[in-house]
Amino acid sequence: METQRDIHQRATDDMIEAGLEQQVNLSFYLTSIYDHSIFEAFSKVVQKLIPQLPTLENLINIFVSNSQIEKAFLFDVVSKIYVATDSSPVDMQSYELCCDMIDVVIDVSCIYGIGDDLEVSAFDEQSASVIKLNNSTVLFLKEVNKVLALVCIMREENYTHSGLIDFNFKCFREAIEDVFAVRAGQFHGGRVIKDKGLSTVEEEE
């Protein structure tokens, strides 16, 4: 903490000396080589560069609330930086669990999923995984596109509605595609995904 305060003070003094204190807002994050804090810090930096972040967070919140999920992260698979998450606080242990799950899925895919064709990516549209932990928690990963994956944590009793979750995820992925289509200038007034596009347990029953 003392080192952080010293760096903060030096950086602030340099900004004032350069006359940039009004134009630039600096953020500081403590990281360690012994945990995933560096990935979380980079995640926060990257999120500030994404203009669609509020939309992505809103879509995740809708998906989480309709699927009875505890926590969800939209990950960049290669860097393990989370592009967006729901509105509940980020717990470091949960984040590390999700990062480890991505490693497991990629490692298993590299060993058993690629075969003789080395040009095939270990992460593709068929990538998905469900892991049940011994504390009645379920982790599941689903591919969103070739670089993004949604990793979620939920209670085991809520995963009994897996069909509902799959349907809601399909709506979520289509909405994500629309968001990035708008960014690429390819959206021409097509489908609009709203809250009512997803199903809830009550509606299914």
The residue among 170 and 120 whose pLDDT is bigger is 170
Q: Which domains does the chain have, with CATH numbers?
A: 37-198 (3.30.450.190)
- Which of these ranges, 44-53, 70-79, 160-169, 193-202, has the smallest mean pLDDT? 193-202
pLDDT-based confidence at 196, cuts 50/70/90? very low
The string of pLDDT tens digits covering residues 94-120 is 999 999 999 888 888 877 766 555 555
Of 197, 69, 80, 37, which Cα lies nearest the Cα of 140? Answer: 69
pLDDT, residue 194, reads 46
Average pLDDT over residues 41-58: 90
Token pair of 160, please?
A: 């009994």
DSSP state of 90: P
Whole-number Cα distances in Å, 77 to 6, 29, 82, 95: 34, 22, 9, 13
The DSSP annotation for 100-117 comes to HHHHHHHHHIIIIISTT-
Residue 200 identity: T
